[in-house]
């Protein structure tokens, strides 16, 4: 990749960062990122007022694992990525400004790359710190016991795993929603389909489980979250994917989707009348 292409991608990134990160319409995405931190902070404050706690540090780690999988990955991060990435192209179609990019002397593949990298930067800036702060605050009411769990126990290792999963989720869901914003008139419908599919993952046959992002993300989580009854009866047990498969697999899927997005952008035509 020559220096001109790098400068063009950087130029697109700068423009998109201003439009995506500092847009007033994106306030709800900031709320989604702050939601888990607020819950963790509230848990810390409530438990700090009690003279004795009814649970252990290990139980708090399981609580975080459940909140991370059910509320964070399938909730705030999922819809936050949808809001960021699906509007990279669809938002400009609605605002009738995409043709300004197409009139500039830049390859459309580079335009896709610049937009994706800008969206990825914003999502990482929002959701990686959210994951770290939520984890660190959740057990803060244990005091020295929590510090010992972090420094001498598995705490920091678990935190690193959750941060990695968060980053990979931004990469994977970002590519999915970038494509959804390109090929669908209403990305909300596509997001609903993806959300239902990801939510059904525990109950799908083993082969179909692997056709999802959340399966590989869940495989990388350090603490397993059991499926509660009566849903546990319907859940299908499947061995998690090894890290050396899950990480390259997610990156490969994201790359394939981005190549498809680049080809679609290269062959696409603007029709504001849709």
In a domain, 259, yes or no: yes
In a domain, 110, yes or no: no
In a domain, 91, yes or no: yes
In a domain, 15, yes or no: no
Q: What region does 96 belong to: left with phi over 0, alpha with psi -120 to 50, or beta?
A: left
**How confident is the model at residue 126, as a pLDDT?**
93
First CA to last CA distance, the chain: 35
**How confident is the model at residue 258, as a pLDDT?**
92
Point out the least confidently predicted range of 83-92, 122-131, 153-162.
83-92
The Cα 100–Cα 64 span in angstroms is 45
Q: How many structural domains compose the chain?
A: 1
Query: For the chain, what percent of residues have pLDDT higher than 90?
Result: 26
The Cα 174–Cα 254 span in angstroms is 8
**How confident is the model at residue 232, as a pLDDT?**
57
Q: Tokens 């499947």 appear where?
A: 238
Q: What region does 76 belong to: left with phi over 0, alpha with psi -120 to 50, or beta?
A: alpha
In a domain, 67, yes or no: yes
The Cα 225–Cα 14 span in angstroms is 40
* Residue 117 CB coordination number (10 Å): 17
In a domain, 272, yes or no: no
In a domain, 17, yes or no: no
User: Is pLDDT of 53 > 70?
Assistant: no
In a domain, 96, yes or no: yes
Q: Tokens 């950087």 appear where?
A: 10
Among 176, 210, 172, smallest CA distance to 193 is for 176
- Could you tell me the residue range of the domain that residue 43 belongs to? 24-104+120-267
């Amino acid at each position: 990749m020559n220096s001109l292409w790098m400068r063009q991608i950087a130029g697109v990134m700068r423009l998109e960062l201003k439009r995506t990160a500092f847009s007033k319409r994106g306030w709800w995405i900031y709320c989604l990122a702050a939601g888990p931190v607020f819950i963790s902070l509230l848990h810390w404050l409530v438990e700090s007022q009690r003279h004795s706690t009814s649970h252990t540090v290990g139980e708090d780690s399981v609580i975080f694992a459940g909140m991370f999988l059910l509320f964070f990955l399938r909730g705030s991060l999922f819809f936050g990525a949808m809001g960021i990435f699906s509007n990279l192209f669809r938002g400009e179609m609605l605002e009738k400004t995409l043709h300004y990019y197409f009139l500039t002397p830049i390859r459309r593949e580079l335009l896709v790359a610049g937009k994706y990298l800008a969206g990825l930067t914003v999502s990482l800036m929002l959701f990686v710190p959210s994951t770290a702060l939520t984890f660190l605050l959740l057990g803060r009411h244990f005091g020295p016991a929590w510090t010992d769990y972090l420094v001498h126990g598995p705490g920091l290792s678990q935190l690193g795993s959750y941060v990695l999963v968060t980053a990979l989720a931004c990469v994977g869901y970002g590519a999915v929603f970038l494509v959804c914003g390109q090929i669908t008139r209403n990305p909300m419908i596509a997001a609903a389909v993806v959300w239902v599919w990801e939510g059904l993952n525990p109950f799908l046959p083993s082969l179909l489980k692997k056709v999802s992002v959340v399966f590989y993300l869940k495989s990388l989580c350090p603490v397993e979250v059991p499926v509660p009854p009566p849903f546990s009866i319907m859940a299908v047990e499947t061995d998690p994917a090894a890290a050396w498969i899950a990480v390259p697999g997610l990156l490969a899927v994201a790359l394939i989707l981005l190549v498809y997005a680049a080809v679609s952008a290269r062959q696409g035509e603007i029709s504001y009348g849709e």
